[in-house]
Amino acid sequence: MNFAIDCIWIDRNGKVVEIINDMNPCGGMLDCPAYSPAEDSRYVLELKAGMAKKLKISKGANLGAIIR
């Protein structure tokens, strides 16, 4: 990945369980951190950096209409 993204983790019911905004590209294969939500999730939605805030997506929001 050569650009920053927002990552949104969504559970099986469509609820946002975690968001990381402006996730920057890593420097190399051995320099990449691993990310995971604190709660179980089924989907990860990756957006252009800043879009989660622009779309007002927040933790706890229901995005069921998007994943169905």
**Residue 67 falls within a domain, yes or no?**
no
Residue 35 structural domain: 5-58
Q: What is the pTM of this model?
A: 0.86
Nearest to 28 by CA among 48, 2, 7, 4: 2
Residue 19 lies inside a defined structural domain of this protein: yes
Looking at residue 68, its pLDDT comes to: 62
Number of domains composing the chain? 1
Report yes or no on 65 lying in a domain.
Answer: no
Residue 39, domain member (yes or no): yes
Q: What is the pLDDT of residue 23?
A: 92
Residue 17 lies in a domain: yes
64 in a domain, yes or no?
Answer: no
Long-range contacts of 29-38 (CB under 8 A, 24+ apart): 35/7, 37/9
pLDDT tens, the chain, 68 aa long: 689 999 999 999 999 999 999 998 887 777 788 888 999 999 999 999 999 999 999 999 998 777 66
Note whether residue 33 is domain-resident: yes
